[in-house]
Amino acid sequence: MGFLKWFLLAVLCVLAVDDGGLLLLSNGGVTSSFVRNEEKSIDMPFDSDVFRVPSGYNAPQQVHITQGDHVGKAVIVSWVTVNEPGSSTVLYWPQDGTQKDQATGQITTYKYYNYTSGYIHHCTLHNLEVNIQPSITYVMY
């Protein structure tokens, strides 16, 4: 059985090298012409204000907005609070509108060895109008 394994490996190597097959087996293709510079980037220094913790007790941090459905009529707003869970309610309305809607999300935490995360909030805003920019306000009750 050992001979057969080595024989099959040798055949595979020959097939891979034959007619440039090795390149075909190892070429992942080119997805972009972008090439990262080797020197450090200076466009966002670590002491930039975007990395500062926001002021205020239990202020939302690490706010993200992502697509919430496949048709573009929902978004998911996610954020972290550090001190306590706080509210997961988001108040939102069309930019030029007056009728306000609200959505309440869920809160989760996780532990990894001796690390415990902050309170992670996820709130989905449904039934948004297409091509209308919403105004969003985080509401703490």
Strand order in the sheet with 119-125: 61-67, 75-81, 119-125, 106-108
DSSP 17-75: HGGGHHHHHH------S----SSPP-SS-TTSGGGSPPSSTT--EEEEEEE-SSSSS-E
pLDDT of residue 71 exceeding 60, the answer is yes
pLDDT of residue 41 exceeding 90, the answer is no
pLDDT for 24 equals 47
Mean pLDDT for the stretch of residues 24-42: 73
Lowest-confidence range among 12-21, 82-91, 131-140? 12-21
> For 70-81, b where at least 16 C-beta lie within 10 A, e where not — what string?
eeeebbebbbbb
Q: How far is Cα 54 from Cα 104, in angstroms, rounded to an integer?
A: 22
Mean pLDDT for the stretch of residues 111-132: 90
- What are 3-20's pLDDT values in tens digits? 666 666 666 665 555 555
